[in-house]
Amino acid sequence: MGKSNPFETHFAEYDAWFDAYPNVYESELLAVREVLPPPGDWVEIGVGTGRFASRLGIPVGIEPSARMAALARRRGVEIISGRVEALPLPDTAVDAVFLITVLCFVQELDRALREVARVLRPRGCVIVASVPRDSAVGRIYDSAGPKDPFFSQAILRFTDEMLDALEAAGFTIERTVQTLTGHPDHANDRIEPPSEGHDTGSFVVVRAVKE
């Protein structure tokens, strides 16, 4: 992250975004809910301030930012300090791992996905939500430059690139869904139900299973 970690210095700004764009937030939640795996031991990696975990019933989150983690705890999420590249979990420890708009902040994608595979039980699921680089919102974030404290440090990826990386790590893609398919200026006008696929949405969710 360099000398200044925006997730420590701008944590309040990050959290306030969800209140400023409630319909975008609800649309994203609906998309993740659409692909939820069977109940079991769930963990969200890069849980942030707990906005998704607290609403989706994910009891445990892994988060490196102390200030973000403090807000997640207030929302009832149990926090473990750590990063996806070296997860503080034993082998085959959980049934489902959630990675919601976090892999764009990971340099070593293949290493991160191998770690996810390691901690998942056989036939366990990984849920990956991301903003594709070639989506309408992705193009905005990709051109933000130093003006955006978060996405100026992000590595946005194409969805096909993400799917290939998951398969290389030993996962089988089960389903993709998308939302925020319209113009970004109108994304917060309404709550958008998810649709199948990953060709037009600015928020894409992939469910893959560990073989």
Structural domain count, the chain: 1
Residue at 166 is within a domain: yes
- The torsion region of residue 128 among left (phi > 0), alpha (psi -120 to 50) and beta comes to beta
Residue at 95 is within a domain: yes
Residue at 31 is within a domain: yes
Residue at 186 is within a domain: yes
Domain that holds residue 144: 6-210
Residue at 1 is within a domain: no
Residue at 128 is within a domain: yes
Mean pLDDT by 10 residues, the chain (211 residues): 63 91 98 97 97 98 95 97 96 98 93 98 98 94 71 86 97 98 97 97 98 87
Q: Domain holding 36: CATH number?
A: 3.40.50.150
Q: Which of 11, 25, 59, 24 minimizes the C-alpha distance to 185?
A: 24
User: What does 57-73 look like in DSSP terms, one character per residue?
Assistant: T--EEE-S-HHHHHHHH
Residue at 13 is within a domain: yes
Query: Sign of torsion, CA 60 62 63 64?
Result: positive
**What is the pLDDT at residue 59?**
98
Report the predicted TM-score, pTM, of the whole model to 2 decimal places.
Answer: 0.93
- 35: number of Cβ within 10 Å: 19
**What is the pLDDT at residue 1?**
39
**What is the pLDDT at residue 4?**
65
